[in-house]
Structure 1
Amino acid sequence: MAAHDNSADPSFDVDVLIVGAGPTGLALAAQLSAFGASFRIIDRRQTPGTESRAIAIQPRTLEALRPFGIGDELAAAGHPARQLQLHLPEETLNVDLFDSGLEDSAYRQLLFLSQTETERILTQYLLSRRVRIERGAELQDLERLDPEDPFAGMEAKIQRMDRGIERIRARYVVGADGANSTVRAKAGMDWRGTAYPDTFILADVEVDGVEPDTVHSYPTEDGFLFLFPLGGPATWRMIGIKPRGDNSPTTLETLQKLADTFTRGELQVRDPQWISTFRLSHQVAEYFQRGSVFLAGDAAHVHSPVAAQGMNTGIQDALNLGWKLALGSRGLASDDLIDSYDAERRPVGRDVVSATDRIFKLATSRSGLAKLPRTKLLPALAPKVMDWDGLRSRLFRTMSQLNVNYRGSDMVQSGTSRLPGLLASGPRPGDRMPDADVIHQGRERRLQDLAVAPGFTVLLCGPGWPQDAAEQIQASLPRLAGLLHVKQLMTGSSLIAGGPGIIQDVSGLAFHRLGLSSRRPELLVIRPDGYVGYRTAGRDLSGALSYLADLTAAAEPARV
């Protein structure tokens, strides 16, 4: 049984049933645990996976896992790569990775880490919270508790290796069970997209003749070869495409032949730790939610791995959904808030599938016209593009997923006194909150560490706030006791002591990145997933209180 199994409603055995204990399901469990929600997590595998599979962790994923202490642990265990060598026919182009555009994050590198290690670190966190992953438990069927009400909860039929059939009644069921999701099939959610004709080769190997700690790309008329600095269980991850029509087993000889084709015999491949072949597709679920059933990660979207987005998108699916289900389990989430998961994350999943499909086709096409961008335009334009700082910055922010936003969501609002989006500076409602070094109680801290928590943070910025503003806010929203935090962000000196609710921006970077003025007060509400939910100018609290009251289904808008 999972930790925090405290569901008070006798209609349910548990509030949330998570099906699948890969990175997405484990991240969801971590957030539910932090909120004290009642959940169980099952996986049909009897033991954790041993293949490295997904290996790239983006800065936004590290940020999103930081509130649980996991971001820093992943960063310490991972292998950063700060350079790409693009091996073109006539020259090798060196490109610095993530050297611009990530100044407002604590993590400024593309990190490579075996998925096995990522899952191990997430699992260790859950074990420290007394969460047990129930392995050897396979979902067989799902039925609504009330056939007439899709939101009344579900009964899951579970086949257990150790004790036969078990039935679990859950308020919510989340399918994090991969591309062949049983949850998706049983919930009747359509799966749309097509398969690619090529067969991929993945291998964790040792490679001689290549510069370490660097991503290597070899684009040719025949496709591409990538080498990523994995660190362990082998030094390198090799990714390539098997020749069409070749159905022979993939061996070390196959890998060496592939390397010879793309590098003119410059590399020696040896000591493979893992070799796998698989077919790729680009597919996305028609909906990420149907009633009480939700999809996340590969169960909701699959695509090419060429842009290192898949696992990262899945983890962020989980962390968008988890706090909403946790609040819903306590009766603190409006129906609109629960439904906003699909509205906020499906466009992200759809965009990732579309973008990676375009990149994949550019990288792999073998037809005359379609391969021109790779064989002719890339060598001509790449040096010029990589020298354009603004474009590189935007590219890195997009790849790192720092630019993902929910500006069109009904779950974010601007106050009436705030300037329209195009005229206002700083992050808009729906944007990720930027990070900066600040001072809190005499110690250097990160702003995100202080303003992103299991709950909402009201950030009072600038001068002139009443001394009892925090008390007014807390008293106006008693239903959110323990889930509502109030901080005041102000410019100041590190020599001046600040109280527990005071954050001092000594450098001015936090104010700059948030688009604030030291002379003008503003208020921001930060959601539990680190996005700005509400923003207004001035010292009027009523808009923020109404926003929070509506979001958490308060009976009446709160007043001050």
Structure 2
Amino acid sequence: MTTPSTAGSLRSRAAESPVDCDVVVAGAGPAGLMLAGELRAGGASVIVLERLTEINPLLKAGTLNRPNIEAFYRRGLLPVLRQAQQETEWTVSYISSRRSDGTSTLPRFSGHFAAIMLSEELLDESDPDLAGLNPPDMVDLVHQKQVEAILADRAAGLGAEVRRGVEVTGFEQDAEGVTVTTGKGPIRCGWLVGCDGGRSTVRKLAGFDFPGTAPEITGYHGVADITGVQDLGVGWHATDTGVYLNDPPRGRITTVAFDGAPAGHDTPATAEDLQAAIRHVTGADATVTGITSLTRFTDNTRQATTYRQGRVLLAGDAAHVHPPFGGQGLNLSVGDAMNLGWKLAATVRGTAPDGLLDTYTAERHPLGAWVLNWTRAQIAVMRPEPHARALREVVADLARTVDGATYFAKKISGISQRYDLSGDNPLVGASAPDYELADGSRLADHMHDGRALLLDPTGARHDLVAPYRDRMRTITTAPLTDDAPAAMFIRPDGYVAWAGEPGRDSLDEALRTWLGAPVAYPSQTPDVVAAQR
């Protein structure tokens, strides 16, 4: 990887072998577009290659979990996400029922586990992890295609180049960079990141190991015009042949049959496929008369053993695939991009400390593994055989308790996600609390540019942090809470890297660990920014 000691030599070699950009990102889905924006915010030049000529219009993920809402919030995207949510017809009735505090007059749910619905009425509101759970704006009901459009606009606005209708067909990497082959000519870059989905060309060509478990289900998720289903129960239900979700107000239906993977998985799903699946799983004499959106899925569950090989990296579905239950795919992909973006950008700039890029796999792989096991567990509980159905009754009983519902909701929402970072303060490794500051702003308001952040109300560390002013913003306005640490260092991805009482040695070590060596400026005046809206 590029370190301060080798950055100059790499730049000199690059002069002999010019690059078209610092990073090529293969794939313009949520992972690729979020990564492109983060790389540009960090100062790296980016070309995104996407084989599709336009954003996929099919309905996929329809909700965001807590880590993703926080990520978008910290990049100033809540207003456009809120607008997208308001424009989504099937969410309007729900959103209009929300009270000013973000709650709803409609029955509240916090998702499902293995098609067992969870009631928010059972959540333990005294649980400290649930305190202040929601940011100022609720934007959880946003479709993936809307998210992609918003992230594409952000990436382009920051200067990333998105080339649609261009597919990666091969590449060769060497010590100085990567030459990417496409149908429209080669591209020379310093790094290549595969964000090109579960059937990733980049992953296959690079030879990443991709172990996992084979599929045993065929699922369909559709928005369609259907007759003959008026007697079906609303919501999730288990039958003798599988499980289904019926959502008449939105015209949405999902079926899961445990009869193996489909024979023609590479071909588009049809209205006839959905109709046969509904009849098989529900027993209803259904007729599909029109399709708005239809996708087919399985529970193929795999994860790359590492997310980096030399100058080639993986993110999103290219690094891990799993069934969609719990809505973890979009959220896991954006999390990968947030973690990788600032680290790879620092590597490109030559400011990255030794080993920084390797922390990407070290931090994200365990979270990916958890999601895979979380979805495998749901498959086991949904199986239509006696042992699984007995287990399902036990899990359903637990989900109807306060402790059980709270446990499942915390896992589904992602609020329990954290990284194993060194430090004694319990905040270290966790997503930073969104403190309200004395001037009325909030901590997330000062993270839009993607730099690290030091909350230092006493201003006692100005001389220590001044050499990092190109990589870090310092805020001296105090939080309006008594439980905030005396000072807190937050990485560009929003995770706390250091917190506690004034301790020059420990803070200096944290800064060097995550931001690299300090830079001597002619003037040591720090970049101290009074917190503003």
Interval containing the TM-score (normalised by the shorter chain): 0.7 to 0.9
Q: Give the superposition deviation at 1:362.
A: 1.2
Q: Give the superposition deviation at 1:372.
A: 2.0
* Residue in structure 2 matching 1:113, options 128, 142, 153: 142
Question: Structure 2: how far apart are the matches of 1:18 and 1:106?
Answer: 32
Deviation digits for residues 160-192 of structure 1 (CA, Å, limit 9, x no counterpart): 2xxxx2232x22211001111111122221111
* Residue in structure 2 matching 1:239, options 235, 254, 257: 254
Question: Structure 2: how far apart are the matches of 1:440 and 1:266?
Answer: 62
2:187 pairs with 1:167: yes
Q: Which has the higher helix share?
A: 2
Q: Give the superposition deviation at 1:306.
A: 0.9
The normalised TM-score by structure 1 is: 0.76
Unaligned runs of 5+ in 2: 1-9, 86-90, 96-107, 527-533
Deviation digits for residues 210-266 of structure 1 (CA, Å, limit 9, x no counterpart): 99xx9921123322112469x9xxx24322124738979966576566556766759
Counterpart in the other structure of 1:218:
237
Question: Structure 2: how far apart are the matches of 1:14 and 1:321?
Answer: 17
CA contact (8 A) 1:15 1:171 kept: yes
Letter matched to residue 511 of structure 2:
L
CA pair 449-219 structure 1, distance change in 2 beyond 3 A: farther
CA RMSD after TM alignment: 3.7
Counterpart in the other structure of 2:178:
154
Q: Secondary structure at the match of 1:191?
A: coil
Counterpart in the other structure of 2:490:
526
Mean Cα displacement is larger for which, 256-265 or 26-35? 256-265
Please show how residues 313-392 of structure 1 align to structure 2 within 5 Å: 313-363=332-382, 365-374=383-392, 376-378=393-395, 381=397, 385-388=399-402, 390-392=403-405
Which structure has the higher relative contact order (CA within 8 Å, separation 6+)? Answer: 2
CA pair 247-41 structure 1, distance change in 2 beyond 3 A: closer
CA contact (8 A) 1:217 1:225 kept: yes
Q: Secondary structure at the match of 1:16?
A: strand
Letter matched to residue 311 of structure 2:
S
Q: Give the superposition deviation at 1:126.
A: 2.4
- Equivalent pairs, count: 480
2:22 pairs with 1:42: no
CA contact (8 A) 2:223 2:251 kept: yes
Question: Structure 2: how far apart are the matches of 1:84 and 1:346?
Answer: 26
CA pair 192-432 structure 1, distance change in 2 beyond 3 A: same
2:468 pairs with 1:472: no
CA contact (8 A) 1:85 1:215 kept: no
Question: Structure 1: how far apart are the matches of 2:333 and 2:117?
Answer: 32
Letter matched to residue 553 of structure 1:
G
Please show how residues 17-56 of structure 1 align to structure 2 within 5 Å: 17-56=24-63
Deviation digits for residues 81-102 of structure 1 (CA, Å, limit 9, x no counterpart): 842798999xx97723896554
Letter matched to residue 413 of structure 1:
S
Question: Structure 2: how far apart are the matches of 1:557 and 1:351?
Answer: 42
Question: Structure 2: how far apart are the matches of 1:305 and 1:87?
Answer: 11
* Residue in structure 2 matching 1:122, options 151, 154, 165: 151
The normalised TM-score by structure 2 is: 0.79
Kindly, what percent of the aligned residue pairs are identical? 26
Letter matched to residue 471 of structure 2:
L
Question: Structure 1: how far apart are the matches of 2:373 and 2:60?
Answer: 22
Mean Cα displacement is larger for which, 254-263 or 21-30? 254-263
Letter matched to residue 34 of structure 1:
A
CA pair 481-182 structure 1, distance change in 2 beyond 3 A: same
CA contact (8 A) 1:20 1:176 kept: yes
Q: Give the superposition deviation at 1:316.
A: 0.4
Q: Secondary structure at the match of 1:197?
A: coil
CA pair 53-86 structure 1, distance change in 2 beyond 3 A: closer
Question: Structure 2: how far apart are the matches of 1:85 and 1:167?
Answer: 43
Q: Secondary structure at the match of 2:217?
A: strand
Q: Which has the higher strand share?
A: 1
CA pair 145-473 structure 1, distance change in 2 beyond 3 A: same
Counterpart in the other structure of 1:547:
510
Question: Structure 1: how far apart are the matches of 2:281 and 2:111?
Answer: 14
* Residue in structure 2 matching 1:58, options 62, 65, 76: 65
2:473 pairs with 1:485: yes
